[in-house]
Amino acid sequence: MTDIPPLSQEVNQLHADICSALADPSRILLIYALAEKPSMVNELAAAIGASQPATSRHLKVLRERGLLTATRQGANVEYSLNDRRLVEALDILRLVLRDSVVYRASLMELGISPAETGT
């Protein structure tokens, strides 16, 4: 029987590995770009509108957290996602955010402050 770590340990690991990697919008954009196709750093820099050095730093963070694979292609390195479920998770988080914004906007239209409702 495999020991299942306590929830607090799993949450700490999740935060350390994944959430911290996703804390920067550029890294989220990189994940979406890589969901379309594996790419080289210069292609990814152009796709997200960032410099090549900044893009390389973001890719390093994602790679160190185990979210990407880097494969040498001659003089270049091609990056790809390790798990497409990451994109599904990001899509769900985007829906949660969208629904929250819509709900808060509807409250404001009714003249109710979101703070009054505790949301």
Q: What is the pLDDT of residues 62-82, one digit of tens each?
A: 999 999 999 999 999 999 999
Which of the four pLDDT bands, split at 50, 70 and 90, describes residue 4?
A: low
SS3 25: helix
DSSP 13-45: HHIIIIITTTSSHHHHHHHHHHHH--EEHHHHH
Find, among 80, 72, 89, 95, the residue nearest to 35 by Cα.
Answer: 80
What are the structure tokens assigned to 68, written together?
């990407």
Find, among 87, 108, 105, 107, the residue nearest to 29 by Cα.
Answer: 87
Q: The pTM is what?
A: 0.80
What are the structure tokens assigned to 13, written together?
């690991």
Name the residue ranges covered by the structural domains of the chain. Answer: 1-82, 84-119
What are the structure tokens assigned to 26, written together?
């550029």
Taking residues 25-40, what's their average pLDDT?
A: 98
Mean pLDDT of the chain: 91
Query: What is the CATH code of the structural domain delimited by 1-82?
Result: 1.10.10.10
Taking residues 36-64, what's their average pLDDT?
A: 97
Backbone φ and ψ of 111, nearest 5°: 80, 20
Judge whether 62 and 30 are in contact, CB under 8 Å: yes
Find, among 68, 60, 79, 62, the residue nearest to 17 by Cα.
Answer: 62
